């Protein structure tokens, strides 16, 4: 790596069309001059990375006398820091500009490759970290999405003191940085003047850039298993092979393999892979040492999809690159290792607790335990799945491949701890025809270590991950329970008998609240008490009865919202059981979800809603977790 001199940085930036300051360079002992004032004076040395740390910068110099005095002061400060300039070092005098201080940067991230940074600039950039992350392949709208994630981005969204700034020049500068090949670049500050942004100080490091060459896999067949086999079934109830066999005991197109068994669950057990009829998907729960040979024998039989349950690889410090090599050599698609299995096309190729109900939820997870937990919770909540993919260590097929290959119409929900090819993940989300929602674990250092210990995936920089994913259009979930729901709503109405609950939910989904028109307010006023909120959330007051809930809901159903959350809290006069009847005895055009807050007084109503197959919530956070 090489630290580029400031004048060389300006030359590189100018060649890419990036605005740079007027500047002049002078020998260490030569005379200093300036063509206009004010200026900045800086030491320029290949031995100095951060000039400010050594006191090598003087700003706001307004005349020749101040310029000469600044030189003396800089040399004195350098001496105190133990730095002695030599003949290779120079002075650089740059014109100073007035305006808003911004920060732009380029980094090479091991997960996402080249990433552009933007945010508030100046001497406090590291203290306040008001920055966003923008992918090097991001288009204009994605760049704008990133800019608006920062506080300084509000200059462009809402303006400041009567002035609203055009984000166009900022977007254009980001696009120019996307085209520069550099290992690391800090442009700080970049002054936003009336004429546009100007880089007035910059640091560049050249060297090898990170490239990610793994192509996206398009494998829609992974969601359509037809004829399957479980390699390594067991007659011992405590074994994974037993659970897999039991979950598929009623499927005539699922075959078993174990050389030591003849029959299991009244089905023939084949001694060898070679003895199987033609299959398209195999699930392996065998010792690690037997995997390679089994995969090769399956490939010979033209099996394309292989799900490896077996653990003890990267998460245990063992190499698993041979799996990726086998997948490439034989043109097969490997899920896992270290996973719970898959549920697709109505086939439960997992060792999870029972067979999921068929439904609309697509759930792809790195953690098998999270899959098992939410599968069990889904039974309790009467929620059905279209696809469940426990991705495990993702030695071959990863989240990007799954998103890229999904051809259905419902949102894709992901539980992610870490990824190794972030560029492909961004590309897949960018091209997805359905919403992608993500719960990202690994926010803290302790969580990152825990994630690596059981999936072998580095959780990475949380802020960069969430920032990039938001910019590309993914929804970052706040509650892991949101992974259970297939809904995607942009306009939500809230009906509540508690102002406090309405306030809390407003904070959670302020950008999703459906705005009421005056005509809609007037229609509700005809059936609600005089002092109702006249806003969304629609607070129908604490003494609301079954009749008031039903009238308000009937009117609101005609407003055109995507969904209505009906919050019920247990007041003295609240007949929760009667109110609960509304949700299974009255049809509505809008999606309606009861939110029953409380405990004992809600038990009977919740039980009845479950028996009627009604989706309901018991916590405000879960009620909005998928939004």
Threshold 0.75, pTM exceeds: yes
133 contacts 109 by C-beta, under 8 angstroms: no
Choose among 531, 490, 526: nearest CA to 509: 490
Q: Give the span between the Cα atoms of 595 and 580, in whole angstroms.
A: 10
What is the SS3 string spanning 62-92? CCHHHHHHHHHHHHHHHHHCCCCCCCCCEEE
Give me the residues paired with residue 363 across strands: 388, 413
Q: Give the span between the Cα atoms of 295 and 298, in whole angstroms.
A: 5
Residue 60 burial (CB count, 10 A): 11
% pLDDT > 70, the chain: 96
Alpha helices of 331-480 — where are they, by DSSP H?
A: 368-381, 399-405, 422-431, 445-455, 462-472
Q: Determine the average pLDDT of the residues in 523-548.
A: 95
Choose among 602, 570, 443: nearest CA to 496: 570
Q: Give the span between the Cα atoms of 410 and 435, in whole angstroms.
A: 8
Cis peptide bond prior to 189, omega within 30° of 0? yes
Confidence of residue 445 (pLDDT cuts 50, 70, 90): low
% pLDDT > 90, the chain: 85
Choose among 522, 517, 554, 551: nearest CA to 536: 517
Q: 22-95: what fold?
A: Dna Ligase; domain 1 (3.30.1490)
Residue 627 burial (CB count, 10 A): 22
Q: Give the span between the Cα atoms of 223 and 344, in whole angstroms.
A: 5
SS3 13: helix
- Its CATH architecture, for the domain 220-484, is 3-Layer(aba) Sandwich (3.40)
501 contacts 569 by C-beta, under 8 angstroms: yes
Q: What is the pLDDT of residue 2?
A: 65
Helix axis angle, 168-178 relative to 140-147, nearest 10°?
Answer: 110
The helix (H) or strand (E) run that includes residue 620 is helix 620-623
Q: What is the pLDDT of residue 536?
A: 95
Give, in order, the Cα–Cα distances in Å from 64 to each of 23, 31, 33, 73: 15, 10, 7, 14
Q: Determine the average pLDDT of the residues in 414-422.
A: 94
Q: What is the pLDDT of residue 454?
A: 39
Q: Determine the average pLDDT of the residues in 461-470.
A: 92
Q: Residue 54 has which token pair?
A: 């050594």
117 contacts 134 by C-beta, under 8 angstroms: yes
* Burial of 588 per CB tally in 10 Å (0-12, 13-18, 19+): middle
Q: Give the span between the Cα atoms of 543 and 531, in whole angstroms.
A: 12
Helix axis angle, 546-556 relative to 518-525, nearest 10°?
Answer: 150
Q: Determine the average pLDDT of the residues in 44-63.
A: 92
Give me the residues paired with residue 216 across strands: none
Q: Give the span between the Cα atoms of 432 and 426, in whole angstroms.
A: 10
Hey, which bits of 136-212 come out as E strands?
184-193, 196-199, 202-206
SS3 142: helix
Are 220-484 and 492-623 the same fold in CATH? Answer: yes
- State yes or no: pLDDT of 442 exceeds 80: no
pLDDT digit string (tens) for 423-433?
999 999 999 99
Q: What is the pLDDT of residue 451?
A: 45
pLDDT digit string (tens) for 21-40?
999 999 998 899 999 999 99
Confidence of residue 444 (pLDDT cuts 50, 70, 90): low
Cα dihedral value 37, 43, 46, 47, nearest 10? -160
Residues 6 or more apart in contact with residue 68 via CB below 8 angstroms: 32
398 contacts 424 by C-beta, under 8 angstroms: yes
Distance of CA 568 to the CA centre of its chain: 32
Q: Give the span between the Cα atoms of 247 and 131, in whole angstroms.
A: 49
Q: What is the pLDDT of residue 50?
A: 84
21 contacts 199 by C-beta, under 8 angstroms: yes
Helix axis angle, 546-556 relative to 576-585, nearest 10°?
Answer: 30
Q: Give the span between the Cα atoms of 509 and 552, in whole angstroms.
A: 21
- State yes or no: pLDDT of 4 exceeds 90: no
Confidence of residue 580 (pLDDT cuts 50, 70, 90): very high
Q: Give the span between the Cα atoms of 56 and 50, in whole angstroms.
A: 9
- State yes or no: pLDDT of 452 exceeds 70: no
Q: What is the pLDDT of residue 413?
A: 98
Q: Determine the average pLDDT of the residues in 583-611.
A: 95
Confidence of residue 1 (pLDDT cuts 50, 70, 90): low
pLDDT digit string (tens) for 318-337?
788 999 999 999 999 999 99
Interior CA angle at 299 toward 295 and 301, to 5°? Answer: 120
Q: Which CATH class is domain 100-206?
A: alpha beta
Q: Give the span between the Cα atoms of 353 and 259, in whole angstroms.
A: 26
Query: What phi and psi, each to the nearest 5 degrees, are found at residue 58?
Result: -130, 130
pLDDT digit string (tens) for 346-393?
999 999 888 899 999 999 999 999 999 999 999 988 899 999 999 999
Q: What is the pLDDT of residue 324?
A: 94
Query: What phi and psi, each to the nearest 5 degrees, are found at residue 281?
Result: -140, 130
Residue ranges per domain, the chain?
A: 22-95, 100-206, 220-484, 492-623
- Which comes out higher in pLDDT, residue 198 or 128? 198
The helix (H) or strand (E) run that includes residue 493 is strand 492-496
- State yes or no: pLDDT of 458 exceeds 50: no
Q: Determine the average pLDDT of the residues in 455-475.
A: 79
Hey, which bits of 317-435 come out as E strands?
333-335, 341-344, 347-350, 357-365, 384-390, 412-416
Given 3.40.50.261, 1.10.238.10, 3.40.1410.10, 3.40.50.1220, which CATH number is that of 492-623? 3.40.50.261
The mean pLDDT value of the chain amounts to 92
Q: What is the pLDDT of residue 470?
A: 94
591-596 and 563-568 beta bridge pairing = parallel
Q: Determine the average pLDDT of the residues in 460-484.
A: 91
């Amino acid at each position: 790596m090489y630290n580029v001199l400031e004048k060389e940085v300006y030359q590189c930036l100018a060649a890419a069309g990036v605005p740079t300051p007027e500047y002049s360079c002078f020998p260490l002992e030569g005379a200093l001059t300036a063509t206009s004032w004010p200026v900045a004076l800086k030491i320029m040395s290949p031995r100095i990375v951060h000039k400010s740390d050594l006191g090598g910068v003087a700003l706001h110099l307004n005349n020749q006398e101040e310029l000469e005095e600044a030189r003396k002061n800089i040399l004195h400060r350098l001496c105190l820091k133990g730095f002695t300039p030599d003949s290779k070092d120079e002075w650089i005098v740059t014109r100073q500009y007035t305006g808003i201080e911004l920060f732009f940067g380029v980094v090479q991230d091991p997960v996402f490759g080249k990433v552009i940074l933007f945010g508030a600039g100046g001497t406090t950039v590291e203290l306040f970290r008001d920055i966003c992350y923008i992918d090097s392949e991001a288009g204009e709208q994605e760049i704008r999405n990133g800019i608006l994630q920062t506080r300084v981005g509000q200059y462009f969204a809402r303006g400041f003191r009567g002035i609203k700034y055009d984000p166009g020049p900022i977007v254009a500068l980001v696009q120019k940085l996307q085209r520069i090949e550099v290992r690391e670049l800090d442009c700080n500050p970049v002054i936003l003047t009336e004429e546009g942004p100007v880089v007035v100080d910059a640091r560049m490091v050249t060297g090898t850039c990170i490239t990610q060459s793994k192509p996206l896999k398009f494998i829609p067949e992974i969601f359509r298993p037809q004829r399957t086999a479980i390699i390594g079934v067991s007659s011992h109830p405590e074994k994974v092979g037993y659970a897999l066999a039991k979950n598929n005991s009623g499927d005539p197109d699922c075959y078993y393999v174990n050389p030591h068994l003849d029959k299991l669950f009244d089905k023939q057990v084949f001694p060898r892979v070679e003895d199987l009829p033609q299959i398209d998907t195999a699930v392996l729960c065998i010792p690690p040492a037997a995997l390679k040979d089994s995969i090769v024998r399956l490939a010979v039989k033209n099996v394309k999809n292989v799900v490896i349950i077996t653990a003890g690889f990267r998460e245990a410090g063992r190499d698993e690159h041979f799996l990726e090599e086998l997948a490439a050599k034989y043109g097969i698609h490997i899920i896992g290792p270290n996973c719970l299995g898959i549920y697709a096309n109505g086939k439960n190729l997992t060792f999870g607790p029972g067979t999921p109900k068929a439904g609309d939820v697509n759930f792809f997870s790195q953690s098998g335990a999270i899959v098992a937990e939410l599968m069990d919770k889904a039974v309790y909540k009467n929620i059905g799945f279209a696809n469940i993919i426990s991705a495990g260590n993702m030695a071959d097929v990863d989240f990007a491949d799954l998103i890229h290959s999904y051809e259905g119409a419902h949102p894709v929900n992901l539980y992610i701890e870490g990824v190794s090819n972030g560029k492909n993940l961004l590309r897949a989300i960018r091209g997805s025809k359905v919403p992608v929602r993500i719960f990202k674990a690994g926010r803290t250092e302790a969580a990152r270590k825990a994630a690596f210990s059981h999936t072998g995936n580095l959780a990475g920089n949380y802020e960069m991950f969430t920032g990039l994913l938001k910019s590309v259009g993914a929804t970052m979930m706040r509650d892991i329970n949101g992974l259970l729901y297939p809904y995607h709503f942009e306009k939500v109405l809230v009906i509540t008998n508690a102002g406090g609950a309405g306030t809390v939910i407003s904070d959670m989904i302020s950008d999703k609240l459906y705005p009421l028109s005056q005509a809609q307010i007037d229609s509700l006023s005809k059936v609600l008490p005089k002092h109702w909120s006249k806003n969304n959330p629609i607070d129908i007051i604490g003494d609301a009865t079954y009749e008031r809930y039903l009238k308000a809901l009937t009117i609101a159903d005609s407003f055109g919202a995507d969904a209505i959350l009906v919050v019920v809290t247990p007041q003295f006069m609240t007949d929760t059981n009667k109110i609960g009847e509304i949700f299974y005895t009255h049809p509505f055009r809008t999606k309606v979800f009861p939110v029953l807050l409380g405990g004992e007084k809600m038990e009977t109503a919740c039980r009845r809603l479950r028996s009627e197959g009604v989706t309901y919530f018991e916590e405000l956070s879960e009620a909005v977790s998928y939004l």
